[in-house]
């Protein structure tokens, strides 16, 4: 009988050890699974940060490349004080195309956000040469360094004489 008790105790102890080992394997498996998911999440975050750093490096290089163009752009853009030469240049273009010109400035809009300052103007042209001369003048205005937007152009032809009244805005920054 004692022999039986020992065998039963040994079997119970063996089953208990096996159950304990099974429980430990399940707990360790669950822990490994959680740690693997956490490692995967950290790897994705690291990959995103690495890509971000690479993009920042590229942007920084592009910024340095564009810095040399910034000075050129500043020289290209017209500021408000440079509009004083606008009537002179428009008069030069008008005379070059056979027109007499008178120009007057109107109101000014204050820039908001990314928009530019706009100064209204009116131009009266009178001369010889017909529509071809007027088109050459308008092309010359378009080619000038000023950003001009005509809101209306009224043209009156009397034989070879032409009279034109134009209103618009010139932008400055």
Q: Give the span between the Cα atoms of 21 and 27, in whole angstroms.
A: 10
Q: What letter does residue 112 receive in the DSSP assignment?
A: -
Q: Which CATH superfamily is domain 80-172 in?
A: Ribosomal protein S6/Translation elongation factor EF1B (3.30.70.60)
Cβ neighbours of residue 98 closer than 8 Å, sequence gap 6 or more = 127, 128, 129, 133
Residue pLDDT tens, the chain, 173 long: 688 888 888 889 888 999 999 999 998 889 899 999 999 999 999 999 999 999 999 999 888 888 777 777 766 777 778 888 888 998 899 888 888 888 888 878 777 666 677 877 888 888 887 788 888 999 999 998 888 888 898 998 887 788 899 988 888 77
pLDDT, position 51: 93
The domain locations on the chain are 1-76, 80-172
Q: What is the pTM of this model?
A: 0.56
CA neighbours closer than 13 Å in the CB half-sphere of residue 72: 5
Helix (H) or strand (E) holding 147: strand 147-158
């Amino acid at each position: 009988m004692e022999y039986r008790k020992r065998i039963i105790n040994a079997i119970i102890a063996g089953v208990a050890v096996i159950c304990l080992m099974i429980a430990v394997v399940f707990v360790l498996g669950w822990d490994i699974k959680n740690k693997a998911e956490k490692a995967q999440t950290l790897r994705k975050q690291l990959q995103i940060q690495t890509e971000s750093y690479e993009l920042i490096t590229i942007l920084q290089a592009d910024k340095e490349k564009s810095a040399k163009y910034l000075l050129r752009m500043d020289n290209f853009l017209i500021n408000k004080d440079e509009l004083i030469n606008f009537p002179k240049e428009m008069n030069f273009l008008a005379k070059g195309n056979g027109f007499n010109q008178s120009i007057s400035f109107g109101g000014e809009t204050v820039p908001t956000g990314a928009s530019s300052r706009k100064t209204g103007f009116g131009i009266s042209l009178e001369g010889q040469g017909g529509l071809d001369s007027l088109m050459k003048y308008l092309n010359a205005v378009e080619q000038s360094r000023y950003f001009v937007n005509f809101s209306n152009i009224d043209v009156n032809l009397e034989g070879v004489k032409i009279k034109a009244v134009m209103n618009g805005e010139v932008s400055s920054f």
